[in-house]
Structure 1
């Protein structure tokens, strides 16, 4: 969105800077369809590559990379895909952030590690129940195509990067969610984090009612237009 300022009776416009954080085993390429759409709306976009393959990097080091990437930018809206839900709030404690937008994201609480989150949030049980409802064998071998890419055009499929386990072993360092406006976008067809699970998690942990769009877990690839409409609508 454009924020309108008034200086000595003269109206000035300030563009939003969208800071797009990818999920696990991913990088800035994930956002390649979203970036030009946001820029077409007149916004700045920053897409830092997080150190997902670095075994010495936890969530605080991920946040270090983001903080370095946004130097010189203002009016920041940090958009966090999936695992980046652990990183975005840390960033918001270090630099001025106007809003956090979670996209099919993990939402941590104090004292929780990434590994613990799957059980403490109820995510694993919710995925299993959703598989049963939709006729998939909950005991099958994990298939990333079935879970992540089922609605992504095959031309956009890429080999994932390596993902270090280090962040998942590290306790989330914050005592609470930062005092920053937080919104969420959820995908109706997410097979990893079913939409009903996400709605409940966001309500209980953040008191947030999400915007729902079509698509699976990776809407920046499967439904970039819908995701951008949601982001711009949130502002």
Structure 2
């Protein structure tokens, strides 16, 4: 068990499907180190729920706790930005996450950032079919233990379409430490792509760690180590918000 200092409240925001379970291994690791870990279920299957309702769910889970650190996976990056616009936070950690610009939608994000072309280029370099359809096992779960894959696929949730069309309403990133953690083997958002987006949009260098897109399941200790240090990080965004 390792700890780097005082107790911190970490709020874990899932990606598509909205299932807090994807953070359970990292949350358990940080709880064992004396921190408070809040994993939030999002109303992903509710067709009427969009980004404001996702932010409502995080607000409700956090309650009166002061200045938590938000930790967002994949699509959860949009929710983290929306929450940080509403309430004070001590920091934000993006984990293989979509980093929005003010007013951007998740559906536009891929085209604007070039994520599809980045995936295609990575597949070509690795000798995989660049035109193959996305495969959950190959592209999301390639390094996740088999028992966790079985559970995840048997409890898979649909994601409503509204979340992809809601603009992410915020004016600028808060002046708090913001970190970007990137799986070296991520096939959905390749590491080089994530590093570029982090520089362009936040002015920060993405930190590499082992694992694919679902590093909270495949490498929870490594993720916890980096997340735990977020409270002491001094890097704030240079604010590439336009």
Task: Give your verdict on TM over 0.5.
Answer: yes
Contact 2:81 2:168 in 1 (8 A): no
1:191-229 deviations in Å (ceiling 9; x for gaps): 000000000000000001122100000011110011111
In the alignment, which residue of structure 2 is the partner of 1:198? Answer: 194
* Structure 2 counterpart of 1:151: 143
**Post-superposition offset of 1:127:** 0.7
Work out the CA distance in 1 between the residues paired with 2:75 and 2:95. 10
**Contact (CA 8 Å) 2:85, 2:170: kept in 1 or not?**
no
Aligned equivalents of 2:105, 2:205: Cα separation in 1: 24
1:76-225 mapped onto 2 (5 Å cutoff)? 76-157=68-149, 158-159=152-153, 160-225=156-221
Task: Identify the range of structure 1 (178-187 vs 154-163) with the bigger mean alpha-carbon deviation.
Answer: 178-187
* CA-CA distance at 1:176 after TM superposition: 2.9
Q: Take 1:64 and 1:2, find their aligned partners in 2: how far apart are those partners?
A: 31
Question: Aligned partners of 2:103, 2:26: CA distance in 1, in Å?
Answer: 33
**2:91, 2:230 within 8 Å by CA — same for their partners in 1?**
no
Q: Which runs of 5+ in 1 are unaligned?
A: 4-13
- Match of 2:182, SS state, is strand
CA distance in 1, matches of 2:77, 2:15: 8
The CA deviation at 1:61 is 1.2
Do the aligned residues in 2 keep the contact of 1:110 with 1:174 (CA within 8 Å)? Answer: yes
Tell me by how many angstroms 1:2 deviates: 6.8
Q: Say if 2:143 and 2:218, in contact at 8 Å, map to a contact too.
A: yes
User: How many residue pairs align between the two structures?
Assistant: 225
Q: Indicate if the aligned counterparts of 1:92 and 1:180 stay in contact, CA closer than 8 A.
A: no
Structure 2 vs 1, CA of residues 75 and 172 (structure 1 numbering), >3 Å: closer, same or farther? closer
CA shift digits 1:81-121 (9 cap, x unpaired): 01011011211122220000000000111232111111101
In 2: Cα distance, 1:181 partner to 1:71 partner: 22
Cα RMSD of the aligned pairs, angstroms, is 1.4
Which has the larger Rg? 1
What corresponds to 2:222 in structure 1? 226
Secondary structure at the counterpart of residue 75 of structure 2: helix
Q: Is the CA contact 1:31–1:221 (under 8 Å) kept in the aligned structure 2?
A: yes
User: For structure 2, which runs of at least 5 residues remain unmatched after alignment?
Assistant: 232-242
Provide the C-alpha distance between the structure 2 equivalents of 1:168 and 1:65, rounded to a whole number of angstroms.
17
**Partner of 1:61 in structure 2?**
53
Q: Whole-Å Cα distance in 2 between the matches of residues 188 and 57 of structure 1?
A: 33
Q: Tell me, what secondary structure is at the counterpart of 1:86?
A: helix
